[in-house]
Amino acid sequence: MDYHNSPFDLQGKVAVIIGGTGHLCGNMGVALARAGAEVVLVGRNPESAIEKLAAIDAFGGKSWFHRADVRERQEIDDLLTAVLLRSGKVDILVNGAGASLNTPFLEITDDEISTIMDINFKSVLRACQIFGDYFINRAEPSSIINIGSMAGKIPVNGLFTYAAAKAAVHSLTKNLASEWGDHDIRVNTIVPGFFPTGQASQQGDETRALEILRQTPMSRFGEADELTGATLLLASSAGSFMTGTEIIVDGGFSAMTL
C-alpha cells in the first residue's frame, strides 16, 4: 500500500520499536517502514531481526537493529544515545517487549514476579521516562505506543503476573497522556486479543484455544498484520488528536458476554 501524501505518511520520521525482534512488533516495524519511517528494531537477539530487516530492505525501506535488554535502565539510555547518533532523532517509540508464564498462582516465585514485571511493565515505565525526557526537550510532536494485552483488561486464566503487569501498562499510558498532553507527546495503548505467535504460542493447549475461539465473535485468532491499522493510526498525524486511548484489536473477544 502507498501511504505517501496521505495522513498516514511517515516519511522523515524515526521509529524505535522495543521488542521489534518479536513477531507482532516486528510486523509493526515493517508496517511503519512501509509508511516511510526509518525503523530501529530493538531486542536481545540479532538473529531474530534478520528476517524483518530483509523484508524492509526488499521494498527499499530503512531499518537497523540495536541490541538491548530493556530490564536494564542503562541499556535503554544507551539505546537512545545510539539512535540519536545514527538516525539523528526519534519521533515514535513502540514499547512491545513482552514475556509471560502461566504458573499456578500459589507456585509463583519472587524471581518470576520480578522478571515478568521487569520485562512487561518496568521496562515500559523506564523507556517512557528516558524517551519522554528527550521528547519534552525536543519539543516536536511525538508518539508513544505501548503494547498492552486483553489479559490486562479482563481475567484470562493463568496469566496472573503478566495480566497485572499489562494492567499497569494500561494505567501508565493514561497517566502519561494526561501528564504530557501539553507537550504534544501522545501516549496510547494497542490492546491485542489473541495472536497465537511468539510468546503466545508457547502457552496454548488445544482446549484453551477452542475456549478462546468460542469467546471470539469472529471465531478466529488475529494475524500480526491486523495490528497495522492501529499502529499507523497512532504513529501518524492521522491520529494527531488521539492520546490516552486503548485500541482493542481482538475480533470482538471483549465484546462477548456469554
Footprint on residues 85-114 left by ligand NAD (CB under 6 A): 96-99
Question: Is residue 69 near ligand NAD by the rule CB under 6 A?
Answer: yes
Burial 5-18 (b: 16+ CB within 10 A, else e): eeebbbeebbbbbb
- Among positions 56, 119, 177, 235, the unique one binding ligand NAD when judged by CB under 6 A: 119
Footprint on residues 150-189 left by ligand NAD (CB under 6 A): none
Question: Is residue 253 near ligand NAD by the rule CB under 6 A?
Answer: no
Question: Is residue 199 near ligand NAD by the rule CB under 6 A?
Answer: yes
Question: Is residue 147 near ligand NAD by the rule CB under 6 A?
Answer: yes
- Among positions 36, 61, 192, 239, the unique one binding ligand NAD when judged by CB under 6 A: 192
| Strand-pair partners of 38 | 14
Nearer to ligand NAD, 119 or 185 (CB): 119
| First-to-final CA distance of the chain | 38
Counting residues that bind ligand NAD (by CB under 6 A) gives 27
Nearer to ligand NAD, 24 or 185 (CB): 24
Question: Is residue 70 near ligand NAD by the rule CB under 6 A?
Answer: yes
Handedness of CA 156, 197, 256, 190 (dihedral sign): positive
Of the residues 135, 162, 194, 195, which is catalytic?
Answer: 162
Question: Is residue 243 near ligand NAD by the rule CB under 6 A?
Answer: no
Footprint on residues 31-60 left by ligand NAD (CB under 6 A): 43-44, 48
Closest CA to 163 of 174, 175, 149: 149
Question: Is residue 15 near ligand NAD by the rule CB under 6 A?
Answer: no
- Mark whether 162 is an active-site residue: yes
- Give contact residues for ligand NAD (rule: CB under 6 A): 19, 21-25, 43-44, 48, 68-71, 96-99, 119, 147, 149, 192, 194-195, 197-200
Residues belonging to the active site = 162
